Amino acid sequence: MPVFNRLFVYFLAAALLFTPALRAQEISFSSLTADNISFNEASGELRAVGQVVVIFEETKLEAASISYNLYSGEVSATGPLRITDGTGAVFTATLATLSTDLRNGIIHGARFMLANRFQIAAAEVRRSAGRFTTFYRTVASICTVTFNRPVPLWQIRAARIIHDTEEKRLYFEDATFEVLGLPIAYLPRLRMPDPTVTRATGLLSPLIISSEVYGYGFKLPYYITFGDYADATITPFITSGGAFLIEAEYRRRFANGEININGAFALKDTIGNAGDGYIDADMTFALPNDSEIYLDIAVANSDSFLRRYGFDDADRLVSSAGLRRYESGRLWEVGAVFFQSLRDDEVDAEVPFALPAINYRRTWQEPLTGGRLGVNFSTVGLFRQVGRDVLRASAGVDWRRDWAAPLGLRATTFAQVQADVYRVWDDITFGDAPLFRLSPTIGGDVSLPLSRTTKNGALLVLAPVAQFIYTPELAFNDAVPNEDSLQVEFDETNLFGLNRFPGDDQIETGFRANVGVSYRRYDPSGWTLGVDVGQVFRINANTQFSIGSGLSGLRSDILAAVSFELPPRYRLISRVLVGPGSGFRRAESELALNFKRLNLEAAYVFLAADVVADSPVDRSEGVIAATYLINDKWSGNAELRRDLLANQNIFGSMGLTYNSECIEVAVSLSRRFTASNNVPPDTKIDVSVRLAGFGGGDTRREGDGQCIQMQ
């Protein structure tokens, strides 16, 4: 049969020349194409046969044949037929009777697919009000069905399903939830979002937990939306040990900021302390003139609550609030910081809070020498309920200029001076009078970067650097308390630092020469090799740093770091601190291997004893974590953290996950081998099950399987 493929509007124009009856009718189709189109003037019936395509607005009907009665206004289509609407829903059926706008009618023997994911098979489908689609005697699932797997992993069999296309909701009536064809649960009524919805109020996937601390636990989160920019999750948490907790999380986004609040509260606790809980909240808002206000709160009313129920392993909680502003060449911040200790060996009354904490810095290009000039001011007050209180105010000026010397040499000269005023209370060591300190520093560095390209295109870069710094220890300076510079870490990031103490209470003094060399190889095949070696030399032995820091004496320990990267598969970073005649002071290594099925990460650390840093014995730990993709559905993971000197485990876990196009099941086993905060070692088992396809679930599909069948 010849194919005309002409638009229906052209056919209608021709038909109007032959029949006055057509002039009174209004045809709703936007277009119609078919192999053959005929019109019966006596019956008022328009018939199209062969590869029929009818389009009205966003709805498209494809069928073997259709007939349209001008007087009744009905469209009858015979299949195999396919209807696609603007929501992404697809119907396949054998027979349909529809209105001229294709939005209402009855579909027989229908199979329905929404968002190319959720499938419904129904004996009959009725479409009404251009909004509601009602399925009768149905089976629904998102699981792919093939010839070798005719029964879905899970399905919902219901007497009736109503799909509200405006509200994007699915309503199930007289439903039975089946797994592998076996009925598991009866649901008289069930409501859920359709797969096109990414956020909708309702229940989330449950979580089953087993713990030695509280027994078996069950969590059932309930998600609530508040418009497009806010939501909350309320999670009842009940345990066989008698505990009943409420977890809550709230999120809100604004045009100029955000709010995030989460916490938990024990209505009944396993140890009888009803009322225990915690809150962790942060909010940030942008203000005019590049300013920002922020608030972070982390508070728990029990040292063991967070660890007991697996919320967090932190041993200190930090809260802060303040106002800051960043602009070109200038920044300032005013804030306060509060600490809560959860450690067994610390008393909260002896932990300080910082108020006020003020920082200001401004830099600009000064025209006299062409260098960069900077000024800074800061103040901080550290107050305790019990113990020493300290108030410090600091002001400084610094100058820096870079020079380009002959033969490729690069040089930098710098100078700075800082003045500090302290006021100390409740410490007889420092008395009641103000304390003063002046710290001038002058120095410079010179480097000679060398590079060449090999025959195979590799770029080699060698950069030796020598830096000379002098900070006199002035005799009239007062001794000041040390609150923020107790623990010092010497690595490649501060090898060329003017002051290797982490805070401002201690200033590194004397003449020192920081010497180092950096080597890089950039290979055209994609891998990169880096080596950094450095050491600090002094005229007079330094007694400010502890021996364990690696910075004391005339010479520091030798610092070396090696890195190798071949993205995306290989990454190795290793750094060591070697003391003269004392072996390794510190050693750290990180390894990452990423293959098609296996991802492996390992880390090792060794820290020599340092009494000053509150580490009286050597420490060495290793951790290894792996994820293995068994196949396209199954994956496993494992992690082990071990104390290598004590020869005992610290933490271990393993898990197995099944993830298909229609369901995700995850089982994990973990063991914490250490005790802390009145919480004994604990073994936990977590089991979670999530059905895909509802409320923005997993979009993964493994191919084009046929739609589920009525049984």
| CATH number of the domain bearing residue 131 | 2.60.450.10
pLDDT in tens, 155-201: 999 999 999 988 888 999 999 999 888 998 898 998 888 887 888 88
pLDDT in tens, 268-317: 887 666 789 999 999 999 999 889 999 999 999 888 899 889 898 888 99
d(Cα 154, Cα 619) in Å, to the nearest integer? 51
Average pLDDT, the chain: 87
Residues 6+ apart with CB under 8 A from 156: 139, 140, 141, 172, 175, 176, 177, 178, 187, 190
d(Cα 263, Cα 299) in Å, to the nearest integer? 9
- Tell me whether residue 615 is exposed, middle or buried, using C-beta atoms within 10 angstroms of its C-beta: 0 to 12, 13 to 18, 19 or more: middle
Give me the torsion for CA of 444, 445, 446, 451, rounded to 10°: -150
pLDDT at residue 99 tops 90: no
CB crowding 339-375: b at 16 or more within 10 Å, else e: bbbbeeeeeeeebbbbeebebbbebeeeeeeebbbbe
Q: Say if 287 falls within a structural domain.
A: no
d(Cα 361, Cα 711) in Å, to the nearest integer? 75
Q: Say if 383 falls within a structural domain.
A: no
> Residue 84's pLDDT band (boundaries 50, 70, 90)?
confident
Q: How many residues does the chain have?
A: 711
Pairing of strands 410-425, 389-404: antiparallel
d(Cα 274, Cα 266) in Å, to the nearest integer? 6
Q: Say if 174 falls within a structural domain.
A: yes
The residue among 176, 193, 210 that closes a domain is 193
Q: Say if 387 falls within a structural domain.
A: no
**For residue 434, cis peptide bond before it (omega within 30 degrees of 0):** no
Nearest 5°: the CA angle 602, 605, 609 is 165
Beta-ladder partners of 538: 512
The torsion angles phi and psi of 487, rounded to 5 degrees, stand at -110, 125
pLDDT in tens, 468-527: 999 999 999 999 999 999 888 898 889 999 999 999 999 999 999 999 999 999 999 999
Q: Say if 576 falls within a structural domain.
A: yes
Alpha carbon 434 to its chain centroid, in Å, reads: 48
The DSSP symbol for 535 reads: E
CA atoms within 13 A on the CB side of 410: 9
> Residue 694's pLDDT band (boundaries 50, 70, 90)?
low
The DSSP symbol for 676 reads: B
The residue among 617, 637, 656 that closes a domain is 617
Q: What percent of the chain has pLDDT over 70?
A: 92
Domain count, the chain: 2
Beta-ladder partners of 636: 628, 656
181: left (phi over 0), alpha (psi -120 to 50) or beta: left
The residue among 566, 601, 617 that closes a domain is 617
Q: Say if 590 falls within a structural domain.
A: yes
Kind plus residue range of the DSSP H or E element containing 9: helix 8-16
- Report yes or no on whether pTM surpasses 0.85: no
d(Cα 49, Cα 29) in Å, to the nearest integer? 16
Q: Which of 81-85, 223-227, 329-333, 425-429 has the lowest mean pLDDT?
A: 81-85
The DSSP symbol for 196 reads: T
Q: First and final CA of the chain: distance in angstroms?
A: 38
| pLDDT score at 115 | 74
Nearest 5°: the CA angle 367, 370, 373 is 80
Q: Say if 112 falls within a structural domain.
A: yes
pLDDT in tens, 623-636: 999 999 999 999 99
Q: Which of 5-19, 131-145, 508-522, 534-548 has the lowest mean pLDDT?
A: 5-19
CA distances from 115 to 89, 102, 118, 664, 697 (A): 6, 19, 7, 19, 12
Q: Say if 397 falls within a structural domain.
A: no
pLDDT at residue 19 tops 60: no
Domain that holds residue 110: 8-193
